[in-house]
Amino acid sequence: MRIATVVGNRPQFVKAAAVCGPLRARHEEVLIHTGQHHDSALSAVFFDELGLPEPDHDLGVEGGSNGSQLARMLTALEPLLDTIAPDGVLLYGDTNSTLAGALAAAQARVPVVHVEAGMRSFDRSMPEELNRVLTDHCSELLLCSSEQAAENLLARHRRAMPDAVVCANDQMAIGVLRAFAAGGVRVPGEVAVVGFDDIVLGSLYDPTLTTVHQPMRLLGERACARLLDRIADPGLRPAVELLPTELVLRSSCGCSAEAGTRQPVLPLRADRNGAVLGKRPARRAARTPAKA
């Protein structure tokens, strides 16, 4: 699967640095930098210090009003997405880069994945509020960062219930299960819910929670070892190490597998940018863009 990730400002660089490695371990990622934050202190330093892969495409769209900047981003993204022909577009947050990526992808009939979906200030005078609301409406997969964000989406989209809600951790997922129960939404009958962390409560809740299990002890040991190495050698560059994780199948996803079944979800060998060592996936021919 080919995923186009659109970033443009500091918080997005930080989030992408955490996601690029695991994403590239299983799929092909094309990283697009809009140029919204463009100087060294706001952009290059994050790529250098966080080990973020160099952008495959830098649009160089900087400065100007919100409307002008958005228009220039769309003008650059439309032909680029046509050339890349991604299977999905991954977006973070609520910036002009986020909305430009969402609109360009929606026009090209490419599914949009929005990280931090459902966040609301309920103040439409804020450019960020318009960006996040419009991006949510363009998205096929809404990834919420809090229970409140999930409740905001449920309140607005009860008639268009998503197929699944994927949460950043199990506590959020259990909050979502509670919100669904209070709203009369059947899990997994109407919607599936998946968490991340595999806390004990997830296996005791009703319905039991499908989640991702991390090797927490090994994660702590490796993190301490890396920290000590960095203290001993401050010039040591960041490196990516992928640890084994497992998908734990339980009733909240409606899976037919036996409850508690575990499936490995990540390979272990990757380079410093998180790319799997081995053969590069074959590129597909660009598809013809849909017309309005």
How do residues 186-222 score in pLDDT, each as one tens digit?
999 989 999 999 999 999 999 999 999 988 899 999 9
Q: Which CATH superfamily is domain 1-145 in?
A: Glycogen Phosphorylase B; (3.40.50.2000)
According to CATH, where is 3.40.50.2000 located in the chain? 1-145
Helix (H, G, I), strand (E, B) or coil at 13: helix
Structure tokens at 108: 């090209």
Give the global pTM.
0.64
Count of residues making up the chain: 292
- 99-121: pLDDT as tens digits: 999 999 999 999 999 999 999 99
How far is the C-alpha of 102 from the C-alpha of 86, rounded, in Å?
13
Q: At what angle do helices 66-84 and 96-107 cross, to 10 degrees?
A: 40
Contact present, 117 and 147 (Cβ < 8 Å)? no
Whole-number pLDDT of residue 66: 87
Percent of the chain past pLDDT 90, that is, above it, reads 50
List Cβ neighbours of 222 (8 Å cut-off, separation of 6 or more): 241, 243
**Does residue 285 have a pLDDT over 60?**
no
Tokens 């964000």 label which residue? 149
CATH topology of domain 159-277: Rossmann fold (3.40.50)
Q: Within 10 Å of residue 194's Cβ, how many Cβ atoms?
A: 21
Position 268 confidence tier, pLDDT thresholds 50, 70, 90? very low
Whole-number pLDDT of residue 147: 79
